[in-house]
Amino acid sequence: MTALTDDTLPVTPRAMRDEMIVFVVMALLLVAVPFSGIYPFFVMQALCFALLACAFNLLIGYGGLLSFGHAMFMGTAGYCSAHALKVWALPPELGILVGIVAAFGLSLITGFISIRRQGIYFSMITLALSQLLYFIYLQAPFTHGEDGIQGIPQGHMFGVLDLSKPTVLYYVVLVGFLAGFLLIYRIINSPFGEVLKSIRENEPRAISLGYRTDQYKFLAFVLSGTLAGFAGALKVFVAQNASLTDVHWTMSGEVVLMTLVGGLGTIFGPVVGAFAIIAMQQYLAGFGQWVTVIQGSIFVICVLTFRRGVVGEVAHYFRRSL
């Protein structure tokens, strides 16, 4: 397997400083959104997908594992949270927790099954597992088939934050996203993250150095799946529905595309990619039948001309890791 990413640059204090500057700028921009006149629902949706893409990126960009079924974590958490909120009438914070726990459980099982497979076989087994799950959700009565779970109550977070107010909801989602993002950043720069990168670069060497690579990969898989579940649980509050599209393989494909467009193995790439793709879906909607053609062209151009993704190319140009 050839290296997917281009971060051969050493992690220096200067690189860390660059990343912190970009992070602060990003956070400030996002905090300012409600005052800017940009439509907040669009940004909220993009934030949920950005977190999902970051979680996915943890696995592929730093672990070298391409999961082609990542939608299953988002969808599972979405369904479980939605069910908890609507049928069990749990408060939002517990609803999110239910979703996260469900995704955690799922990632334990699927990780156990898939983690020993190599390369493309890993991708295919995750795809197969997500298709199985799709079938289960289609059959299970609590998901209401293709109608989905609709009209999910947003409720009051911790009993005080009224999530039906768009501005309040926006900041709750933003805090969730930033927390998830920082956690991923921390993981990447921890000793665990370093081992992960070494496995990606050369697994046999990592094994010969005494690392139990399967355990590292398994842990990365579970972390990634659980964080994807967190994104899915947050999305329930934004979309107020949970539907089969969130567990369909095309959604898994979209996550791959977001990460690729933004830049595989870059810290900020998935965020940029998610915003780009969601904006495309939103603003190209007026082009009617040409949407798929435009989307397809963008992917082709992306693969042929800027393979490192938007952020990857920028970072490469300035010789910085971002």
Burial class (CB in 10 A: 0-12, 13-18, 19+), 83: buried
User: Is the Cβ of residue 200 or residue 267 nearer to another protein in the bound state?
Assistant: 200
Name the CA dihedral angle for 155, 158, 163, 167, rounded to a multiple of 10 degrees: 170
SS3 state of residue 6: coil
- Residue 190 sits in the site that holds another protein (CB under 8 A): no
- Residue 85 sits in the site that holds another protein (CB under 8 A): no
User: Is the Cβ of residue 116 or residue 205 nearer to another protein in the bound state?
Assistant: 116
User: Is the Cβ of residue 141 or residue 191 nearer to another protein in the bound state?
Assistant: 141
Return the residues of window 264-293 that contact another protein according to CB under 8 A: 281-282, 285-293
User: Is the Cβ of residue 189 or residue 245 nearer to another protein in the bound state?
Assistant: 245
C-beta of 64: minimal distance to another protein in Å? 9
Tell me the β-bridge partners of 53.
Answer: none
Q: Copy the structure tokens of residue 163.
A: 């999530």
- Residue 210 sits in the site that holds another protein (CB under 8 A): no
Tell me the β-bridge partners of 242.
Answer: 149
Ramachandran area for residue 144 (φ above 0: left; ψ -120 to 50: alpha; else beta): left
C-beta of 125: minimal distance to another protein in Å? 5
C-beta of 14: minimal distance to another protein in Å? 29
- Residue 306 sits in the site that holds another protein (CB under 8 A): no
Tell me which stretch binds another protein (CB under 8 A): 95-103, 131-139, 173-181, 214-222.
Answer: 131-139
- Residue 204 sits in the site that holds another protein (CB under 8 A): no
User: Is the Cβ of residue 19 or residue 55 nearer to another protein in the bound state?
Assistant: 55
C-beta of 158: minimal distance to another protein in Å? 22
Identified binder of another protein from the candidate list 22, 23, 183, 253, rule CB under 8 A: 253
Return the residues of window 29-68 that contact another protein according to CB under 8 A: 34-35, 37, 39-42, 45, 66
**Distance, first Cα to last Cα, the chain:** 23
Q: What x/- string results for residues 228 through 247 when contact with another protein is judged by CB under 8 A?
A: -------x---xxx-xxxx-
What does the buried/exposed string (b/e) look like for 40-71 if buried means 16 or more CB atoms within 10 Å of the residue's CB? Answer: bebbbbbbbbbbbbbbbbbbbbbbbbbbbbbb
- Residue 8 sits in the site that holds another protein (CB under 8 A): no
Q: Using N-to-C axis directions, what is the helix angle for 269-283 and 309-318, rounded to 10°?
A: 140
Q: Which of 178, 187, 146, 233 is nearest to 61 (CA)?
A: 187
> Among positive and negative, which fits the CA dihedral 197, 217, 107, 2?
positive
Identified binder of another protein from the candidate list 119, 202, 212, 279, rule CB under 8 A: 119
Identified binder of another protein from the candidate list 9, 24, 120, 279, rule CB under 8 A: 120
Tell me the β-bridge partners of 149.
Answer: 242
- Residue 315 sits in the site that holds another protein (CB under 8 A): no
Tell me which stretch binds another protein (CB under 8 A): 92-100, 206-214, 269-277, 302-310.
Answer: 302-310
Q: Which of 96, 84, 63 is nearest to 231 (CA)?
A: 96
CA distance 165 to 213: 46
Burial class (CB in 10 A: 0-12, 13-18, 19+), 269: buried
